[in-house]
Amino acid sequence: MKVMTMISMIYDSFEVELPLEVVFNNAVISKIADYIRNNNKIKIDKIVNIGQKEYYELSPAQRRIVYIEKYEDVKTTYHLTNKFMLNGVVDEERLNDAFMKLIKRHESLRTSFELHDDGFVQVINDDIDFRLNVISCREEEVDEYISNFIQPYNLEKAPLFRGALIKFNEEKSMIVLDLHHTIADGKSVRIILRDLLALYKDEPLPELKARYVDYTQWYNRLVEGKREKQEAYWQDVLKDYNITKGLMKDFEVSGEREYKGGKITEYISENLYNALNKLAVENHTTAFILLFAAYNVLYSKYTAKEDIVIGTPIEGRENNELKDMVGMFINSLAIRSYPEKEKSFYDYLAEMKDVVIGAFDNDEYQIDNILNELSKDNEVIDNNIFDVTFAMQYIDTLSEDIAGVEVDYLNENNVMEFENLRVIVYSYQNTLILSLVYSKDLFRDETISQMMRDYLKILETITDNPYIKIKDINLTNEVLNDISNEEELDVGFSF
């Protein structure tokens, strides 16, 4: 993400398009400067204010969710519900006033959706009916309250988000944010909380450089211009890929899923942190690619597959004007790799670097287009190419004191989990924090705990000997991979 942001800033400042590959292969400022000097300027299509309209275009990600929400019974599947612990006395009226200022600041919080003759559109509402929900309850009752708090939205009526203050006592409480995915993504949740707390303290916020509706029109033109090239790239990457069942689940869901989420977190030791950084630097790669490659090895061993696809979400905010904006920007990339047992980890890591660079250079192509092709075959499991995603996030602080109230970011939790399994690496100062977020409908806590131990074991092994063959990387315990009797789905990928 930092590299992509740098590329965007160079693009804005010098009108030169800097390929990601050039950054990795010439990771020296002087060489990048030479590239900028020696390449021709290009015309920059900047995000511009399109003015006030009755309605606006949707982004590709919004369009897919709106259509699914409208025509399928998905209930609360596309909700983002997070809770944040607060320590200290909270002024309820002051917090409610901060929410109202937040709604005025971010148009996405005043957005609704309508069906017109030419399809769905988004509408920005001037006035909406919002009031912070405030209740008192015991901590052991909070899950029941949140479950009742999360109700389906009518996409035609704003706001498509809710806020609650749950008070356990005068000194301890919780903020619950529930947002529909059409108006926000995971980064937006952190922006909302950051801005909310600043407004609670009566701190001024910088003026937003663009609106989400300005972005959607700009992005739709950008995607259309790159569609042919990027479609050809993904055709080549996913040619002849056969979807299989992926990770073995502890439970088969026969009825309706409850979407209860679980989360296991471990801190990387200082010695291991230093060893991982050293290995990344020696291989001219990033911590993200190194940690991602290591998890691919683990996934390969758990599934007994040497041709695998794991998803990685991208924030879609490379443009500097989008970094403080609330909206739905996220896309997912399908990273296909081949952790074959006879390869050394060193060689596989080099391959992963090229694979990831290629994917990020073609990241405007929407995962929806791939899913649309695959969903034509009724045998596709979960209507997805991958059952695990891997992400890395940089965080500035683990807690913050806001007008006498401490907000504990580390206790930020997703109340519900709609993906099967997400691997998240948090980078904070000189620390790495590993989190496995999983669906309790599908996995036991013990299974995910074992996976965490195995992942840590692989990280220790590759830092001790990066030239080790993948087949010689042992896990902490013998993993049952007896899936030879299971019927594999053979779904050939084609556009």
pLDDT of residue 429: 83
pLDDT of residue 398: 62
CA dist list (Å): 258 to 193, 407, 418, 447: 27, 29, 9, 19
Q: 3-class SS at 474?
A: coil
pLDDT of residue 409: 59
Can you read off the two tokens belonging to residue 61?
A: 């990600």
On the question of pLDDT at 43 being above 80, the answer is no
Q: What are phi and psi of 56, to 5 degrees?
A: -140, 160
On the question of pLDDT at 483 being above 60, the answer is no
pLDDT of residue 147: 86
Cα 410 from Cα 398, distance rounded (Å): 5
pLDDT of residue 177: 93
DSSP for 164-213? EEEEEETTEEEEEEEEETTT--HHHHHHHHHHHHHHHTT---PPPSS-HH
Cα 95 from Cα 200, distance rounded (Å): 6
Q: Which of 237-241, 377-381, 468-472 has the lowest mean pLDDT?
A: 377-381
The structure's pTM equals 0.86
Cα 381 from Cα 213, distance rounded (Å): 34
Q: In whole angstroms, what separates CA 298 from the centre of its chain? A: 21
pLDDT of residue 214: 97
User: pLDDT class for 400, splitting at 50, 70, 90?
Assistant: low
Q: How many CB atoms lie within 10 A of CB 385?
A: 23
pLDDT of residue 6: 83
Torsion of CA 243, 244, 247, 253, to 10 degrees: 100
Can you read off the two tokens belonging to residue 33?
A: 């400067």
In terms of pLDDT, which residue wins out, 6 or 162? 162
Q: What are phi and psi of 116, to 5 degrees?
A: -110, 180
DSSP for 321-369? GGTT--S---EEEEEEE---TTSBHHHHHHHHHHHHHHHHTTTTS-HHH
pLDDT of residue 72: 81
Domain with CATH 3.30.559.30 in the chain: 225-472
- Note the CATH number of domain 60-212: 3.30.559.10
The mean pLDDT of 42-55, rounded to a whole number, is 88
- 387 close to 246: Cβ distance less than 8 angstroms: yes
Residue 67's H or E segment, with its range, is helix 60-71
Give me the helices (H) in 201-269, please: 212-237
SS (H, E, C) 380-402: CHHHCCCCEEEEEEECCCCEEEE
Cα 246 from Cα 252, distance rounded (Å): 14
pLDDT of residue 82: 87
Residue type, 369: N
Domain with CATH 3.30.559.10 in the chain: 60-212
Q: Which of 189-203, 304-318, 376-390 has the lowest mean pLDDT?
A: 376-390
Cα 104 from Cα 119, distance rounded (Å): 27
In terms of pLDDT, which residue wins out, 266 or 408? 266
pLDDT of residue 494: 34
- The residues, ordered by sequence, that sit 6+ positions from 9 with a Cβ below 8 Å of its Cβ are 320
β-pairing verdict for 119-124 and 261-267:
unpaired
Can you read off the two tokens belonging to residue 5?
A: 């942001």
In terms of pLDDT, which residue wins out, 23 or 458? 458
Can you read off the two tokens belonging to residue 384?
A: 């997805």
Pick the CATH number of 225-472 from 3.30.559.30, 3.40.50.720, 3.50.50.100, 3.60.20.40: 3.30.559.30
- 225 close to 478: Cβ distance less than 8 angstroms: no
Cα 401 from Cα 104, distance rounded (Å): 25
Burial (CB < 10 A; 0-12, 13-18, 19+), residue 36, is: middle
Cα 455 from Cα 294, distance rounded (Å): 8
